[in-house]
């Protein structure tokens, strides 16, 4: 795909790129469909419940049935809602979630684009979804939806800051914003992966990433026990499905980004395992992160909104800044110490 983007655009190249986009869309939609199923099964297993088991063998068609139900349900729009913005909000929320997946490298050859500012592209586009969520809450003309939208604005903007600052250490050590380059530099075994020297940044990134996904224990924007359903309380049918779809596509994106930035991308944990294809290692690490997200949803209660904001501003942001200074000091005195001990 990268070579095609660098060539002159012809009808043949356009057809190949279009087909690749369709394949990626189908892969992500397939992931979303069965991520929902496995989340329900995993949480059921952890909480000593059965989970979906009726629709299809082992309940495998339950998510398909749920999606079909949403697509054929009546699409209602409140009479006093801002109609145009109400319709536009789910689209603004979903499109960036799919677009950010373009910069995630699955292997050194399998990627949609080899963008030099891939990490910056991800951060810039993911922030647009916040606008869609706030817009949906405000355009609904519903106080509960408005409160959910305002909570979302406060939460996602607050956690976007430590999320971005936490990866600056990785950018400093790799000297690049290109996700492919960052992954390439982690070859040679797990002791070269960024999560070890950047352990502070890794912890901050994971916590802030969970908050950006609006998932438990940070699901304050759609706290059903307080706000009925939060910012999407007035949405039904396929427009409601777009909001849910965006959340799970971001699960795909954040799991892929974490794998690339901190867990070595497609590289094996030990050099003698390099004979196994890189896509296998990427999928295994990716699946472990997705399982972790399901795990914390099953075990942690929702925190209060003041605890949420306090954690972001008083804990994660200072830690992310400390990580930058520690990385800068290490990069400054590390070579000098190496020369000294070598002599």
Question: Which tens digits make up the pLDDT trace of 123-166?
Answer: 999 888 888 888 988 998 888 888 888 888 888 889 999 999 99
Instruction: Please report the pLDDT score of residue 337 as a whole number.
Output: 59
Q: Under DSSP, is residue 302 helix (H, G, I), strand (E, B) or coil?
A: coil
Mean of pLDDT values over 218-244: 78
Mean of pLDDT values over 14-20: 81
Instruction: Please report the pLDDT score of residue 10 as a whole number.
Output: 76
Q: Which long-range contacts (CB under 8 A, 24 or more apart) does 206-210 make?
A: 206/258, 207/311, 207/316, 208/159, 208/160, 208/162, 208/163, 208/166, 208/312, 208/316, 209/163, 209/254, 209/257, 209/258, 210/293, 210/296
Token pair of 159 as six digits:
């956690």
Q: 105, 284, 270: which is closest to 183 by C-alpha? A: 105
Mean of pLDDT values over 295-302: 89
Q: Residue 109's pLDDT band (boundaries 50, 70, 90)?
A: confident
Q: 86, 197, 182, 192: which is closest to 137 by C-alpha? A: 86
pLDDT at 209 exceeding the cut of 80: yes
Q: Residue 319's pLDDT band (boundaries 50, 70, 90)?
A: very high
Instruction: Please report the pLDDT score of residue 24 as a whole number.
Output: 87
What is the CB neighbour count within 10 angstroms for residue 298?
Answer: 14
Give the whole-number percent of the chain exceeding pLDDT 70.
92
Instruction: Please report the pLDDT score of residue 7 as a whole number.
Output: 59
Mean of pLDDT values over 82-89: 91
The structural domains of the chain, with segments of one domain joined by +, span: 1-72, 78-342
Mean of pLDDT values over 10-38: 86
Instruction: Please report the pLDDT score of residue 169 as a whole number.
Output: 93
pLDDT at 5 exceeding the cut of 60: no
Token pair of 287 as six digits:
């699946």
Q: 131, 152, 146: which is closest to 81 by C-alpha? A: 146
Instruction: Please report the pLDDT score of residue 331 as a whole number.
Output: 86
Instruction: Please report the pLDDT score of residue 12 as a whole number.
Output: 77
Phi, psi of 40 (to 5 degrees): -65, -35
Instruction: Please report the pLDDT score of residue 164 as a whole number.
Output: 93
Instruction: Please report the pLDDT score of residue 9 as a whole number.
Output: 65
Q: Which residues contact 161 (CB under 8 A, 6 or more apart)?
A: 312, 317, 320
Please tell me the distance from the alpha carbon of residue 343 to that of residue 333, in angstroms, as a whole number: 16
Instruction: Please report the pLDDT score of residue 256 as a whole number.
Output: 94
Please tell me the distance from the alpha carbon of residue 86 to that of residue 235, in angstroms, as a whole number: 9
Instruction: Please report the pLDDT score of residue 39 as a whole number.
Output: 93
pLDDT at 225 exceeding the cut of 60: yes
Q: Which residues contact 231 (CB under 8 A, 6 or more apart)?
A: 133, 134, 136, 137, 140, 145, 148, 149, 152, 221, 222, 243
Q: How many residues does the chain have?
A: 343
Instruction: Please report the pLDDT score of residue 215 as a whole number.
Output: 84
Contact 90, 130 (CB under 8 A): no
Contact 63, 37 (CB under 8 A): yes
């Amino acid at each position: 795909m990268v070579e095609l983007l660098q060539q002159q655009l012809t009808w043949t190249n356009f057809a190949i790129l279009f087909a690749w986009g369709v394949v990626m869309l189908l892969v992500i939609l397939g992931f979303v469909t069965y991520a929902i199923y496995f989340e329900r099964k995993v949480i059921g297993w952890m909480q000593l419940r059965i989970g979906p088991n009726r629709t299809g063998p082992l309940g495998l068609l339950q998510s398909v049935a749920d999606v079909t139900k949403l697509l054929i349900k009546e699409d209602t729009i409140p009479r006093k809602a801002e109609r145009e913005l109400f319709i536009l909000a789910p689209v603004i929320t979903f499109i960036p979630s799919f677009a950010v997946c373009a910069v995630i490298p699955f292997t050194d050859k399998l990627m949609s684009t080899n963008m030099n500012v891939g990490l910056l592209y991800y951060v810039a586009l993911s922030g647009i979804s916040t606008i869609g969520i706030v817009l949906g809450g405000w355009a609904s003309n519903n106080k509960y939806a408005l409160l959910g939208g305002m909570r979302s604005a406060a939460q996602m903007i607050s956690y976007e800051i430590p999320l971005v600052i936490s990866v600056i250490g990785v950018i400093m050590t790799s000297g690049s914003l290109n996700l492919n380059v960052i992954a390439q530099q982690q070859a040679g075994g797990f002791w070269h992966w960024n999560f070890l020297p950047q352990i502070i940044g890794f912890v901050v990134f994971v916590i802030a990433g969970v908050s950006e996904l609006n998932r438990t224990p940070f699901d304050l924007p759609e706290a059903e026990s307080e706000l009925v359903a939060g910012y999407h309380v007035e949405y039904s049918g396929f427009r409601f499905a777009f909001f849910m779809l965006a959340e799970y596509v971001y699960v795909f994106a954040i799991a892929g980004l974490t794998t690339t930035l901190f867990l070595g991308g497609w590289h094996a944990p030990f050099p003698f395992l390099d004979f196994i294809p890189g896509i296998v290692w990427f999928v295994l690490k990716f699946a472990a992160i997705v399982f972790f997200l399901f795990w914390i949803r099953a075990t942690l209660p929702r925190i209060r909104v003041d605890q949420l904001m306090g954690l972001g501003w008083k804990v994660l942001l200072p830690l992310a800044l400390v990580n930058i200074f520690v990385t800068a000091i290490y990069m400054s005195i590390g070579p000098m110490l190496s020369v000294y001990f070598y002599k």
